[in-house]
Structure 1
Amino acid sequence: MIATNEDVVSALRSVLSESQVTTNQTILEQHSSDESYHSSSLPDIVVFPTTTEEVRKTINIANQFNIPIVPFGRGTSLEGHVIPYDHGITMDFSNMNKIIEVRDKDFLVKVQPGVTRSQLNKELKKYGLFFSVDPGADATLGGMAATNASGTTSVKYGVMRDQVRDLEVVLADGTVIHTGNLAAKSSSGYHLNGLFVGSEGTLGCFTELTLKVYGIPEHIVAARASFQTVNDAVEAVVSILQAGIPIARVELVDEPSMKQVNLHSQTAYAEQPTLFLEFQGNEAGLQQDVEFMKELVAEHNCQHIEFETDTAARNQLWEARHNLAYAYVHGHPGKKLMVTDVCLPISELAGAVEHARTALNSFALTGGIVGHVGDGNFHVLLMIDMTDTAEIKKADDFNELIVMYALERGGTCTGEHGVGIGKQKYQEQEHGKALLVMEKIKQALDPDALFNPNKLVKNKK
């Protein structure tokens, strides 16, 4: 006898409360897409667990009925990670949002996966601490670990994988494991933290994370530097990094994007290729770093540089950068945002950005180039008319062009957004036979393709 949706709902409500299990059409629609351009698909059921045990029981029921589970944080992903194309159960972790423990003397925090970045930093501020990974969106920490998120501060502090000390994970058979411990280092066993971070919900469900945190810097200086060309700006970044200046953030915004910044944020910044920079440390040391940086950028035709030490002015600067994607969306009503995401060795970055701009012009697409250029990661923000099949095809061809450029030069098809479904077609070229190893790991840990099927790697049942 084939089980019906009602049978699954009834089984779920036997282990969860009625309010934690829903087939409400509006809620299903809210869980049918992310912030990407990929087409939506409804789950059959949405559940809202509050404990590890409830997650485990839900997974056992999914096993019993052989239906897939897609973990869901806040839906801010950009490559279709949380879209349930195989339907089934979407597991929304928004109610697992407790900060379990702040171990301030160990510079560690233990949280549930539904805690957001801003929620955590609000709590940490009481201890003079902060969590470093800043992808722009106020994503959940579970989702950030699932995609190995990074963002503006990764040039100094590293990406999400560098912050994870331990994960509590529920596997496909209902087993609950820990992937690490509280120690700063270990030579014991396989590096499971590294395996599960970035697994995009395909190997298990995270129910608890232990993360590294940092002391709030004594002094912060932000700067906005304008250049004649994008190439000048990128070469200036290379010089800053080569000089060993401890920069905390360095973001590239090209000329079209600066125009969007001014329109959306009501600023009057110079509409030229621009670097947004931030330096952190003690006041005396920062003064020396800033003076050295000014000499270096002058050698690369810096036209103007302005510094901000006031908190409100710094926040305005970074808010303008973080809101750039939304600035494009609001500035092009009726179009959908498509964001490319490649990362290359620093030595190849200037050529890659120049290649992307040339290609963008030749395809006659609307968009701008931005990026976390301190670690070689850049994005092209494209505004696409999803009713125009020719424009969609041009956007896909453009995306493939810059991905291939990155792969041919030792880069990656995604520096931070992850694979999902959008970058799956590039996995074999990027990883070669190592992709077979990934598929075997998936099959070993999730033989029935229960978790987020056909994302990251193809199902091998």
Structure 2
Amino acid sequence: MGLQAVVERNEDGIATALDILTQAYGDRVERGQALREQHGHTTTWLRNQPPDAVIFPKSTEEVQDIVRICATHRVPIIAFGTGTSLEGHVNAPAGGISLDFSQMDAILEVHAEDMDVVIQPGVTRKALNAHLRDTGLFFPIDPGADASLGGMAATRASGTCAVRYGTMKDSVLALKAVLPSGEIVKTAARARKTSAGYDLTRLMIGSEGTLGIITELTLKLQGIPEATSAATCSFPSLEAACNAVITSFQYGLPVARIELLNALQVKACNAYSKLSLPEAPLLLLEFHGSESGVTEQAEIFGEIAGELGGTGYTFTTREEDRNKLWQARHDAYWAALQLRPGAQGISTDVCVPLSRLAECVTATEAKLAELGITAPIVGHVGDGNFHTLLLVDMSDPAEIAKAEGYVGWLAELAISMDGTCTGEHGIGQGKAKYLERELGAGAVGMMAAIKRGIDPDNIMNPGKILLPAAGLA
């Protein structure tokens, strides 16, 4: 079910490469069925497509060796971080090798005076911030899941702090990658800006492992703010909540985080996280700065919210209170699953210009009600980005088809508003059919030309982003 690119399987090449790789890497080449299925995991209705083996490299040089062997025998290679991607990114439609980077998790260099860090791709965002705590610095990109930073770069991830600190494209200064040929490339130096040639760093960011394998990252860090305050405010409608967001930015309020939860999601969070928030559209905010600054920012937002019908506005600088609220937001997925026990949660996201946000979110909630789909809404609304989590009975083909139809409707709605079919989840397999509709044939053709030029045998994560009609091998 769902649209998946058809990619030819190379049986003889896979068998030969596996024999060579097993001789070279021994028990780090795993072929167990359960492990392979875990590495083809996909939290969509796309069927699981496991690789033929999983290998655990420990260095850039080992990745280079594995890629050269696979390239010689035209065997697909799929990079795997922690498996938290949402659009079939780690599926192996033509089989091949999954490279699991869990053993490449070293923090190589911390340059506190330059506010940057050099890491291997298997480092997770929580592990990095724990390591940095005593330096007074932190890495702000927070997609919710404790994802690997290599995977976050490959999918151009963002999250709750993107409204102030940007996304992965803004936080990666340079990277090292192994190309399909086996060549190792460095895309930039540690300098904060450069005009030297093509921007290869950002070419690799968001390429979803289709152009090469990221083996090292240089990341920009931020100073831990002197003070932080968190606030909550309920609204009579989704439109009023979205208008409060728009007004805040027009006012120039430097919000660090601003999250929207619709009434259904608030209900789920109350039950799961033992909160007592009003079951109405809710904004959850965070302000960073000086002690007086965060208080002033919170008070200004309170005035804006009040003018738009906001009620129950509260803010706090107490760390334990802030952590409880944000933990509830990060647990929203698990909370939502309790609304329909036994159902699978299928998450999808879109992003629209801020001026169209209220219209898009309101239409989305109405469409879900019309279709009878249980699907709470959350959003990083400071960026115009929001998510719906569809609770689907995966044993019911009619229900799956209805849910898939809704995802298509939402993607088309966002595109019609000059938005995107995915603000942060990526294209993978699940949204490949919307890419040309969003960007046009010329842009997709240019992507295909880049892919063919770098990966003529289509061994790097084949079947993702670009459909077979793009003319790939």
TM-score range with shorter-chain normalisation?
Answer: over 0.9
Give the equivalent residue in structure 2 for 1:317: 325
Deviations 1:180-239 (A, max 9, x none): 111111111011111100000000000000000111000000011111111110000001
Ranges in structure 2 where 5+ consecutive residues have no aligned partner: 1-9
Task: Tell which deviates more after alignment, 328-337 or 234-243.
Answer: 328-337
Give the equivalent residue in structure 1 for 2:245: 237
- Select which of 266, 276, 293 maps to 1:285: 293
Matches within 5 A, 1:325-404: 325-404=333-412
Would you say the 8 A contact 1:224–1:275 is kept in 2?
Answer: yes
Would you say the 8 A contact 2:265–2:332 is kept in 1?
Answer: yes
Give the equivalent residue in structure 1 for 2:20: 11
- In 2, the alpha carbon distance for the partners of 1:38 and 1:94 equals 25
Give the equivalent residue in structure 2 for 1:439: 448
Would you say the 8 A contact 1:439–1:458 is kept in 2?
Answer: no
Would you say the 8 A contact 2:13–2:75 is kept in 1?
Answer: no
Deviations 1:263-317 (A, max 9, x none): 1112111111000000000011222222211111111100111112111111110
Task: Tell which deviates more after alignment, 288-297 or 325-334.
Answer: 325-334
Paired letter, 2:72: Q
- What is the SS of the residue equivalent to 1:341? strand
Please state how far the C-alpha of 1:35 moved relative to its aligned partner.
Answer: 3.3
- Select which of 144, 147, 161 maps to 2:152: 144
Matches within 5 A, 1:39-50: 39-50=47-58
Would you say the 8 A contact 1:37–1:337 is kept in 2?
Answer: no
- Select which of 72, 78, 101 maps to 2:80: 72
Please state how far the C-alpha of 1:29 moved relative to its aligned partner.
Answer: 2.1
Ranges in structure 1 where 5+ consecutive residues have no aligned partner: none
Deviations 1:357-378 (A, max 9, x none): 1111111101111100000001
Give the equivalent residue in structure 2 for 1:154: 162
In structure 2, relative to structure 1, the CA distance for the partners of 1:390 and 1:35 (3 Å cut) is closer
Structure 1 residue ranges (4+ consecutive) displaced by more than 4 angstroms after TM superposition: none
Establish whether residue 448 from structure 1 lines up as the match of residue 457 from structure 2. Answer: yes
Would you say the 8 A contact 1:15–1:54 is kept in 2?
Answer: no
TM-score after normalising by structure 2 = 0.95
- What is the SS of the residue equivalent to 1:15? helix
Give the equivalent residue in structure 1 for 2:430: 422
Aligned length: 460
Give the equivalent residue in structure 1 for 2:4: none
In structure 2, relative to structure 1, the CA distance for the partners of 1:189 and 1:334 (3 Å cut) is same
- In 1, the alpha carbon distance for the partners of 2:365 and 2:11 equals 54
Would you say the 8 A contact 1:164–1:210 is kept in 2?
Answer: yes
- In 2, the alpha carbon distance for the partners of 1:363 and 1:128 equals 49
- In 2, the alpha carbon distance for the partners of 1:73 and 1:171 equals 18
Task: Tell which deviates more after alignment, 234-243 or 327-336.
Answer: 327-336
Please state how far the C-alpha of 1:8 moved relative to its aligned partner.
Answer: 2.6
Please state how far the C-alpha of 1:451 moved relative to its aligned partner.
Answer: 0.6
Matches within 5 A, 1:197-208: 197-208=205-216
Paired letter, 2:36: L
- Select which of 21, 27, 38 maps to 1:30: 38
- What is the SS of the residue equivalent to 2:445? helix
- What is the SS of the residue equivalent to 1:331? coil
Task: Tell which deviates more after alignment, 313-322 or 329-338.
Answer: 329-338
- In 2, the alpha carbon distance for the partners of 1:312 and 1:78 equals 31
- In 1, the alpha carbon distance for the partners of 2:337 and 2:103 equals 30
- Select which of 262, 266, 281 maps to 1:273: 281
- In 2, the alpha carbon distance for the partners of 1:24 and 1:423 equals 30
Give the equivalent residue in structure 2 for 1:104: 112
- In 1, the alpha carbon distance for the partners of 2:301 and 2:354 equals 18
Give the equivalent residue in structure 2 for 1:190: 198
Please state how far the C-alpha of 1:69 moved relative to its aligned partner.
Answer: 0.6
Please state how far the C-alpha of 1:168 moved relative to its aligned partner.
Answer: 0.2
- Select which of 290, 295, 306 maps to 1:298: 306
- In 2, the alpha carbon distance for the partners of 1:413 and 1:2 equals 35
- What is the SS of the residue equivalent to 1:167? strand
- In 2, the alpha carbon distance for the partners of 1:243 and 1:262 equals 31
- In 1, the alpha carbon distance for the partners of 2:327 and 2:418 equals 32
- In 1, the alpha carbon distance for the partners of 2:14 and 2:370 equals 50
Please state how far the C-alpha of 1:5 moved relative to its aligned partner.
Answer: 5.3
Paired letter, 1:303: T
- Select which of 253, 262, 265 maps to 2:261: 253
